[in-house]
């Protein structure tokens, strides 16, 4: 197994922290053990674990130990289909926001989506993720039809949707059509921070309501947040951790904020590698059984981001399965990676990289070990 090291600069920060008399390793380990055992932490302890100076290798090693206990060395893969770059929303950080008139807009047809799944299936994907902006073209009926087409053809596969905030009855219809999972990042668990990075017509409460609805319907539900987004404080990140513990999501997507030049946040700094790995690892300790992707954003900010994410507790990767013609157009942030091992065709390279990092890509639906916790009110249509 190849050891992936932190950059020299990060190494120096850690050493400087030690020199300044930061907590001894033994005490850091005590905090991490406590967290993994489900104990509550004081606000000071959270601040220290999130932003304090200590050897992050202790944290990553503990997160890795916990992931191995529940998932062994397995890494699950998801084929990501970015089905539409049209969006009616105007999130201040996002490159496909409606006010970005320079964004290239496209949408995939049902035939294109199904044929990408066909290709993905033969490559070994057993989960397809359909993600897009909030695009009215993708009506309740149209998406339900696409989901049943995929599930009809590949009953052994899971379908994950990530199409933003919709009405509960729409979520129900998609669930009945066979969708298994839904990803809706909460973006930030602080209402005040939410208001600073979204336009006034989007509300934190509505997003939270959507997540409650999804979980109650029976979806394996994913939330998540950006690390280092403008105006984010350590307290906001603590709120994220507390929210995760309460909400008990099946999946958590965590990636660094990366500026997009055609957005109001184009000049802001990106989130850091260490901070993102820290939050992923803490998430693994708070939610030992959750599915955590090592995100594309992470591999965009660092060439070894993908592997470092896996070594800090992540256990999922989501290579891009969209048709090549549109790949550059789903531009959420600048320089988003969509080639090499980020692409479904690069699966063999990805497998090698994952192996080098000490893990193994498996052909599996990769369901969460947490059971859906609804009372199964909505019975599914037979596919």
Nearer to ligand SAH, 41 or 161 (CB): 161
Helix (H, G, I), strand (E, B) or coil at 131: strand
Burial class of residue 341 in the structure, from the number of CB atoms within 10 Å of its CB (0-12 exposed, 13-18 middle, 19+ buried): buried
Residue 271 CB, shortest distance to ligand SAH, in Å, is 8
Helix (H, G, I), strand (E, B) or coil at 167: coil
Residue 274 CB, shortest distance to ligand SAH, in Å, is 17
DSSP states of 85-109 as a string? ---S---TT-TT-TT-TTS---B--
Give the integer Cα–Cα distance in Å for 264 and 198: 11
Residue 97 CB, shortest distance to ligand SAH, in Å, is 9
Residue 253 CB, shortest distance to ligand SAH, in Å, is 7
- Are 270 and 260 in contact by the 8 Å Cβ rule? The answer is no
Residue 180 CB, shortest distance to ligand SAH, in Å, is 17
Q: Please give the residue ranges that form the binding site for ligand SAH (CB under 6 A).
A: 93-94, 131, 133-134, 162, 164, 184-185, 187, 226, 255, 257-258, 260, 297, 332-333
Nearer to ligand SAH, 164 or 309 (CB): 164
- Are 243 and 208 in contact by the 8 Å Cβ rule? The answer is no
Give the integer Cα–Cα distance in Å for 147 and 229: 33
Nearer to ligand SAH, 131 or 299 (CB): 131
Structure tokens at 380: 């599914």
Give the integer Cα–Cα distance in Å for 214 and 212: 6
Q: Please, what is the angle between helix 8-19 and helix 273-286, to 10°?
A: 70
Nearer to ligand SAH, 49 or 211 (CB): 211
Structure tokens at 268: 């802001």
Nearer to ligand SAH, 32 or 343 (CB): 343
Nearer to ligand SAH, 93 or 204 (CB): 93
Nearer to ligand SAH, 216 or 276 (CB): 276
Residue 85 CB, shortest distance to ligand SAH, in Å, is 10
Residue 328 CB, shortest distance to ligand SAH, in Å, is 16
Give the integer Cα–Cα distance in Å for 381 and 152: 11
């Amino acid at each position: 197994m190849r050891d992936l090291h932190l950059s020299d600069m990060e190494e120096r920060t850690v050493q400087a922290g030690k020199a300044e008399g930061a907590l001894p390793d033994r005490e850091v380990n005590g905090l991490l053990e406590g967290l993994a055992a489900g104990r509550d932490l004081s606000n000071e302890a959270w601040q220290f674990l999130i932003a304090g100076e200590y050897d992050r290798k202790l944290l990553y090693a503990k997160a890795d130990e916990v992931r191995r206990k529940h998932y062994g060395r397995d890494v699950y893969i998801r084929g990501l289909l970015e089905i539409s770059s049209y969006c009616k929303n105007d999130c201040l950080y996002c490159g496909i926001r409606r006010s970005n008139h320079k964004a290239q807009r496209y949408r995939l047809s049902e035939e294109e989506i199904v044929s990408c799944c066909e290709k993905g299936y033969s490559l070994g994907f057993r989960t397809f993720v359909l993600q897009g902006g909030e695009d009215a073209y993708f009506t309740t009926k149209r998406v339900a039809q696409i989901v049943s087409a995929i599930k009809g053809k590949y009953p052994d596969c899971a379908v994950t949707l990530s199409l933003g905030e919709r009405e509960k009855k729409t979520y129900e219809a998609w669930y009945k059509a066979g969708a298994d999972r839904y990803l809706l990042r909460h973006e930030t668990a602080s209402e005040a921070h939410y208001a600073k990075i979204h336009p006034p017509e989007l509300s934190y409460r509505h997003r939270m309501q959507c997540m409650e609805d999804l979980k109650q319907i029976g979806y394996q539900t994913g939330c998540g947040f950006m690390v280092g987004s403008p105006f984010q404080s350590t307290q906001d990140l603590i709120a994220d951790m507390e929210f995760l513990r309460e909400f008990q999501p099946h999946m958590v997507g965590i990636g660094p904020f990366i500026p997009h030049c055609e957005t109001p946040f184009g000049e802001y700094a990106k989130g850091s590698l260490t901070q993102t790995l820290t939050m992923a690892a803490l998430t693994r300790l708070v939610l030992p059984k959750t599915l955590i992707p090592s995100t594309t954003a992470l591999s965009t900010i660092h060439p070894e981001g993908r592997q470092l994410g896996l070594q800090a507790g992540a256990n999922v990767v989501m290579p891009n399965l969209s048709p090549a013609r549109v790949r550059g157009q789903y531009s959420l942030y600048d320089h988003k990676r969509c080639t090499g091992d980020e692409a479904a065709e690069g699966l063999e390279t990805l497998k090698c990289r994952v192996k080098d990092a000490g893990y193994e890509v498996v052909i599996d639906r990769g369901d969460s070990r947490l059971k859906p916790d609804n009372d199964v009110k909505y019975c599914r249509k037979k596919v």
